[in-house]
Amino acid sequence: MNIADVKKELSSDEKVLESAFKLETLYKKHKFKLWAVVVALVVFFGGKAIQATMHEAQLAKANEAFLTLQKKNDDAAALQTLKENNPALAELFNYVQAAKKQDAKALKALAASKNAVIADASAYTAGVIEKKPVDSVLYKEMALFEEAYVAIGAGDVKTAKAKLELIDERSPLAVITGFLKHSLIKAN
């Protein structure tokens, strides 16, 4: 080994030591900030994990209550557990039960739900039970068909035709609507 190689090696060791001293100085200067960030990250991810675990436990309770209600639909304790742990599923269960029993009062109460799907379906189903036309986003074409049918029953052919014209030709109701339109032509 010659002197130039030794100087080069000492120079590189010197640079490593210099970098280590700079890093130590930087750490001493910002250690509270660094540890605060580390603690914040640990708390954040730990909190997320705890929150996810609690949510899973809630869903498990709700599922258990829902399965109980599927077997015995008048179990008040299971219904209360379902309401506490999954209100949307509880509303859906109540909607199905009210529709099965044709309970217009319960359906009207569900029509005030914050869940737009439950509210719309409940209002529509209550309207069908009471034989009253109801505006519906989900059942728009069915609602129009119902309104036309009610109008025909009342002898108002003009309104019935107008309602039937609003139903799209690509709708699953198009064939039935066509038959109804044809019968209205013969009725005139």
Residue 145 in domain: no
Over its length of 188 residues, how does the chain's per-residue pLDDT go in tens digits? 577 666 666 677 677 777 878 888 888 888 899 899 999 999 999 999 999 999 999 888 888 888 888 888 888 899 899 889 988 888 989 998 998 999 989 999 998 888 888 898 899 889 888 878 777 777 888 888 888 888 888 888 888 888 888 888 888 778 888 877 777 765 55
Integer Cα distance of 160 and 69 in angstroms: 42
Residue 171, domain member (yes or no):
no
**Residue 5 backbone phi and psi in degrees, to 5:** -65, -40
Q: DSSP string spanning 140-164? A: HHHHHHHHHHHHHHTT-HHHHHHHH
Q: Given this model, what pLDDT does residue 7 score?
A: 63
pTM of the model: 0.61
Domain count of the fold of the chain: 1
Domain contains 156? no
**Alpha-helical runs (H) found in the chain:** 3-71, 76-85, 87-101, 104-110, 116-130, 140-153, 157-165, 174-187
Question: Is there a domain that residue 5 lies in?
Answer: yes
Rounded distance between C-alpha atoms, residue 23 and residue 147, angstroms? 79
Q: Is residue 9 part of a domain?
A: yes
Q: Residue 41: inside a domain, yes or no?
A: yes
Whole-number Å distance between alpha carbons of 12 and 1: 16
Residue range of the domain that includes 52: 1-85
In a domain? residue 148: no
The answer to the question of residue 117 being in a domain is no
HSE-CB of 21 using CA atoms within 13 angstroms: 6
